[in-house]
Structure 1
Amino acid sequence: MSILPETTVTVDEIINQVIADNITSPTTTPREYAWDFENNDFLLKDGKFIIVEGKEALKIWIWKALHTMRMKYSIYSDDYGHDLDSLIGKGFSSGLIESEARRFVWKCISVNSHITDMQNFSTTYDGDTLTINFTVLTDQGEVEISGLQY
């Protein structure tokens, strides 16, 4: 009797299974760890992470993606994150900044297969601060994003 398994699994089979398990399709329910937006940290219950699903998970994913500069952290793919920092200090007109901010936000969030559209996009300025508000349409329902500041 051997302690080794009798079936042979190749590295290619393992890699293909991991890839298949990690592909997010619109038929899967989005899941994220609960997030405390005020304190910018995970929410814990009895010292353990809380998992949320659906619209709340998408809100967290959107918030995190829009708080991560694209191509700055090697842990993320080149598609994850935003390019909004490229608008700072350039002296662009408010119309151009709003147009580019809309484009950059859509580029950032549209990589998520659950997100279908973005509406009610608006920007306001207070000194050097750009504040962005918009509604995200998803297969889980509408998600309101307000008060994003850059």
Structure 2
Amino acid sequence: MSDEFPFVTISSTVDDSIQALPLFREYDWDFDSDTFVFHNGQRTELIGDEALKVWIYKALKTERNQFLAYSSRYGIELKPFIGKVMGINERYSELKRVITECIMVNPYIRSIDSIDFESNGDKVNCRIELSTIYGGININV
């Protein structure tokens, strides 16, 4: 795993809503090389919160309405921020809004508990804590 995406904490509490949806599945993703993970020539499959981490990473990386392969609800809208002059608090507020819109389309995600930003020079780190039907995930992007 890279330092940019150290997915660290997972709660493993499962509740009754897991019965309403099939087990969430996604192919494992190498965040360092930005490619699928293969084992013996086959893609590795993840389930539950581990699969949701991959889905969230890919959704946050994909510009909404940019690719015909995805529905109009999938991805994030960051292009409107390019060249737009706004204060830091306004920018973070808008980023929280588009991150929430991006992630909350997934029915396996119950809530976003917090989104916090930390500036590091030209880079902004974002910490997202969310609740899923499987428990909870903390993500740093």
Which bin holds the TM-score, normalised by the shorter protein?
0.7 to 0.9
How many residues end up aligned between the 2 structures? 123
The residue number in structure 1 matching 2:120 is: 126
The residue number in structure 2 matching 1:9 is: none
Q: Does 1:100 align with 2:100?
A: no
Structure 1: state its 5+ residue gaps.
Answer: 1-24
Q: Does 1:75 align with 2:75?
A: no
Q: Does 1:66 align with 2:60?
A: yes
**Alpha-carbon spacing, 1:74–1:82, altered in 2? closer, same or farther (3 Å):** same
**Alpha-carbon spacing, 1:128–1:89, altered in 2? closer, same or farther (3 Å):** farther
The residue number in structure 2 matching 1:138 is: 132
The residue number in structure 2 matching 1:41 is: 35
Q: Output the TM-score relative to the length of structure 2.
A: 0.81
- Secondary structure of 1:66's match? helix
- Higher RCO by CA contacts (8 Å cutoff, separation 6 or greater): 2
Aligned pairs for 1:101-116 within 5 A: 101-116=95-110
- Secondary structure of 2:79's match? helix
Q: Structure 1 counterpart of 2:35, which letter?
A: D
Q: Is the 8 A contact 1:114 1:139 kept in 2?
A: yes
Q: Once the two structures are superposed, what CA deviation does each residue of 1:82-139 show, in whole Å capped at 9, x if it has no partner?
A: 0123223312111111111111001001110011111231112234333221112100
Write the distance in 2 (CA, Å) between the matches of 1:76 and 1:96: 29
Bigger radius of gyration among the two: 1
Aligned pairs for 1:76-91 within 5 A: 76-91=70-85
Q: Output the TM-score relative to the length of structure 1.
A: 0.76
Q: Is the 8 A contact 1:26 1:113 kept in 2?
A: no
User: What RMSD in Å do the two structures reach over aligned CA positions?
Assistant: 1.5
